[in-house]
Chains A and B, each alone.
Chain A
Amino acid sequence: MSEAVTAEGSQTQAIQPRERRLAGFWRRFRRNKLAVFGLAIVAVLLLTALSAPLIAPSDPRAQDYALTLQPPGVGGLMGTDSLGSDVFSRVIYGARISLMSSLISVGLALLVGVPVGLTSGYFRGFWDEWIVMRVVDSLQAFPFLILALVIAAVLGGGLGYAMIAIGIGFVPAFVRITRAQVLSVRGRDYVDAARAIGTGHTSIMLRHVLPNSLPPLLVQTTLAMGYAIIAEATLSFLGLGAEPGEPSWGSMLFQAQAYLTSAWWMAFFPGMAIFFAVLGFNLLGDGVREALDPRTYD
């Protein structure tokens, strides 16, 4: 009797669950129009970065001293800068630098922060309490940009070091979020059950604790990408990131400073690019958080 019932019950649940979970996520995400807008911005940004050579009308590094400071319309879509480079091409290529540096810096932060937070939160004890968390505390005592500035200054200039500096600046937040999540997951029954069946620590951490700790990390990753774009632009603006000739939005702003009153387009377009890129990632991150939040489930 009971077997017949269960067999029938399973008939009604033929849909693949993983698919269903993803579909549910997408449905909840889609309801938030702003989040979809954010996703669209990020998608456009990504496409632009990938196909920059196809879109850009000219070499972003090419300089033409005969055509300096041309306003938009006359000197291309967004005008030319003080060295005669095409601002439109530079903004397009800037998307590459911005995306790449945010990917690399956030990737670095994930690579360091997640394993540290995971092992520290899982094993607890002296290392967790007195070494890892106190180092994280002291790193977090510095304002993020000051920290990145100091690290970039110590390591030396250049875009690569700027990315490392931004990544290190993000590490404390990732350690904290991972650890907090791990602390709650490690006490769940299925972790005890896994231990009772003889599962080793590494396997428990990777199979049981980490996958169940991911949702808040996903949100943090998206939001950090947006913040990394600002950080990269700021470091480049201050001369600690991309070289002045490189088409980075931050260094374009720096270059535009002297011409703010005479050539507004030099600052306006890279500024808007930064604004939209960061807005896109923030809206996307908010949307992901809302879609993952069990309280918004229907």
Chain B
Amino acid sequence: MAMLEVNNLKTHFKTQDGVVKAVDGVSFSLEAGEILGIVGESGSGKSVTALSIMQLNPKPPTEYPEGEILFEGQNLLEVSEKRMQQIRGNDIAMIFQDPMTSLNPVFTVGNQIREAIRIHQDVSKSEAQEKTVQVLRDVGIANPERRAKEYPHQFSGGMRQRAMIAMALSCNPKVLIADEPTTALDVTIQAQILELMVGLQEKYGTAIVMITHDLGVVSQLADQVMVMYAGRAVEQATTDEVFYDPLMPYSWSLLRALPRLDTAGEVRLLPVKGAPPSLIFLPEGCNFNPRCPFVKDECLKIDPDLYEKKPGHTAACILSVEEIEKNKSRVDAELGVQT
């Protein structure tokens, strides 16, 4: 049994303009110690998926018309808020995008981590304090005894994200959901934070769901990748397969839109034209058809499900593998990509 299994999850928001299908039938499973990367544009449903697992979407307007989220066999969509509070932090923890605003400015960093520990563990204040200093040391904060007594405004952005990771890991959760943990940080700090997360994942065997729109981050870390578009998973496979042999035109376009150091000046970039569709008024047929470089007439009529195109590699596209490969090499030749 997988540690975390999401089956046909649908997260809809009821608004005055209509139902927003923020997540519309997403499935994946995560084994212990595995890293799953979820990539997609803003508004593709990545964060809502994460918040659904944590059961942190505001209700109303959120509804879960279908699907299940199984954590160690129990459906999180059905457990009580009380039980969910025990699971949050203790079994599944989450770190957020902006470390500058994720810590309460009126308490010391140590105080906040200590409280997180004491919510889930029956320990004394001094034991919690010890553990706090230890996790701060684990995430590479120098002089943790003194740093624990300082307030968030005395921490830099990178240190705050470290503190957030320390807080998330303080109860040894089985799953860590990282919602764009490096987006708000500069590049050198990004690398440090990612290295830290991988190190801790190896040390504690935590499974990680890494949500990002940074393909570089995913290619470095993830075992499995799920590409999301307009609330749906459009391609799922191992990281290597998605990066070297994408079978969904969207994932492929994302890779061709990305500048690369080794081919700079030789290869033209292919922008993904247009903008993500409104989640209330989705296009007829395939959601991606207005932007797809390989679009054909059937795409305007048929809304493809996620098919298994190759063993263990699923994509939502009506084109056959041969058609996709042919299209890919045709456009690659125009762009000057050497394969």
Contact A190 B93 (CB under 8 A): no
Q: Quick check: which of A156-164, A197-205, A254-262, A276-284 contacts chain B, the rest being far away?
A: A197-205
Shortest Cβ gap from B256 to chain A (Å): 34
Using Cβ atoms and an 8 Å threshold, which residues of chain B touch A208? Answer: 104
For residue B146, CB closer than 8 A to chain A, the reply is yes
**Cα distance, A200 to B86, chains bound together (Å):** 9
Least CB separation from A211: chain B residue: B106
Contact of A196 (CB < 8 Å), options: B56, B104, B156: B56
Shortest Cβ gap from A190 to chain B (Å): 4
For residue B119, CB closer than 8 A to chain A, the reply is yes
Contact B106 A212 (CB under 8 A): yes
Q: Quick check: which of B137-145, B229-237, B277-285, B294-302 contacts chain A, the rest being far away?
A: B137-145
Contact B141 A6 (CB under 8 A): yes
Instruction: Identify the interface centre among A10, A188, A190, A197: most chain B CB within 10 Å of its CB.
Output: A197
**Given A10-B146, A198-B88, A199-B115, CB of A192 within 8 Å of CB of B56:** yes
Using Cβ atoms and an 8 Å threshold, which residues of chain B touch A190? Answer: 101-105
Shortest Cβ gap from A229 to chain B (Å): 31
B residues 90-117 near A (Cβ < 8 Å) are: 90, 93-94, 96, 98, 101-107, 115-116
Using Cβ atoms and an 8 Å threshold, which residues of chain B touch A33? Answer: none
Contact B87 A198 (CB under 8 A): yes
Q: Quick check: which of B5-13, B147-155, B211-219, B331-339 contacts chain A, the rest being far away?
A: B147-155
For residue A7, CB closer than 8 A to chain B, the reply is yes
Contact of B154 (CB < 8 Å), options: A4, A17, A199, A200: A17
Using Cβ atoms and an 8 Å threshold, which residues of chain A touch B168? Answer: 197
**Cα distance, A239 to B98, chains bound together (Å):** 59
Contact of A192 (CB < 8 Å), options: B85, B96, B143: B96
Contact B104 A199 (CB under 8 A): no
B residues 105-133 near A (Cβ < 8 Å) are: 105-107, 115-116, 119-120
Using Cβ atoms and an 8 Å threshold, which residues of chain A touch B119? Answer: 197-200, 203
Instruction: Identify the interface centre among A190, A211, A212: most chain B CB within 10 Å of its CB.
Output: A190
B residues 68-95 near A (Cβ < 8 Å) are: 85-90, 93-94
Shortest Cβ gap from B260 to chain A (Å): 28
Contact B96 A193 (CB under 8 A): yes
Contact of B101 (CB < 8 Å), options: A2, A188, A199: A188
Contact A189 B102 (CB under 8 A): yes
Contact A197 B93 (CB under 8 A): yes
For residue B255, CB closer than 8 A to chain A, the reply is no
**Given A6-B141, A190-B102, CB of A198 within 8 Å of CB of B56:** no
Number of A residues with CB within 8 Å of any CB on chain B: 27
Least CB separation from B153: chain A residue: A17
**Cα distance, A200 to B118, chains bound together (Å):** 12
Least CB separation from A210: chain B residue: B106
**Cα distance, A193 to B141, chains bound together (Å):** 20
Using Cβ atoms and an 8 Å threshold, which residues of chain A touch B209? Answer: none
For residue B210, CB closer than 8 A to chain A, the reply is no
**Cα distance, A7 to B154, chains bound together (Å):** 13
For residue B167, CB closer than 8 A to chain A, the reply is yes
Using Cβ atoms and an 8 Å threshold, which residues of chain B touch A196? Answer: 54, 56, 88-89, 93-94, 96
**Given A193-B96, A212-B104, CB of A198 within 8 Å of CB of B140:** no
For residue A3, CB closer than 8 A to chain B, the reply is yes
Contact of A195 (CB < 8 Å), options: B56, B156, B159: B56
Using Cβ atoms and an 8 Å threshold, which residues of chain B touch A6? Answer: 141-143, 156, 159
Least CB separation from B58: chain A residue: A124
For residue B192, CB closer than 8 A to chain A, the reply is yes
Contact B150 A13 (CB under 8 A): yes
Shortest Cβ gap from B160 to chain A (Å): 11
**Cα distance, A211 to B104, chains bound together (Å):** 10
Least CB separation from B147: chain A residue: A10
**Cα distance, A203 to B114, chains bound together (Å):** 14
For residue A207, CB closer than 8 A to chain B, the reply is yes
Using Cβ atoms and an 8 Å threshold, which residues of chain B touch A4? Answer: 142
Shortest Cβ gap from B192 to chain A (Å): 7
For residue B316, CB closer than 8 A to chain A, the reply is no
Shortest Cβ gap from B298 to chain A (Å): 43
Per-position 1/0 for B171-207, Cβ under 8 A of A = 0000000000000000000001000000000000000
For residue A194, CB closer than 8 A to chain B, the reply is yes
Using Cβ atoms and an 8 Å threshold, which residues of chain B touch A188? Answer: 101
Using Cβ atoms and an 8 Å threshold, which residues of chain A touch B101? Answer: 188-190
Shortest Cβ gap from A93 to chain B (Å): 40
For residue B164, CB closer than 8 A to chain A, the reply is yes
Contact B116 A3 (CB under 8 A): no
Instruction: Identify the interface centre among A6, A193, A196: most chain B CB within 10 Å of its CB.
Output: A196
Contact A194 B140 (CB under 8 A): no
**Cα distance, A208 to B116, chains bound together (Å):** 13
Contact B89 A198 (CB under 8 A): yes
**Cα distance, A193 to B104, chains bound together (Å):** 9
Shortest Cβ gap from A237 to chain B (Å): 43
Shortest Cβ gap from A14 to chain B (Å): 9
**Cα distance, A190 to B98, chains bound together (Å):** 10
**Cα distance, A194 to B101, chains bound together (Å):** 12
Using Cβ atoms and an 8 Å threshold, which residues of chain B touch A211? Answer: 104, 106-107
Contact A198 B86 (CB under 8 A): yes
**9 tightest A-B CB contacts, nearest first:** A198-B89, A197-B89, A198-B88, A189-B101, A196-B94, A7-B142, A190-B104, A193-B102, A17-B151
Between A and B, 13 residue pairs with Cβ closer than 8 Å are A2-B140, A6-B159, A7-B143, A190-B102, A190-B103, A196-B88, A196-B94, A197-B88, A197-B167, A197-B168, A198-B86, A200-B119, A211-B107
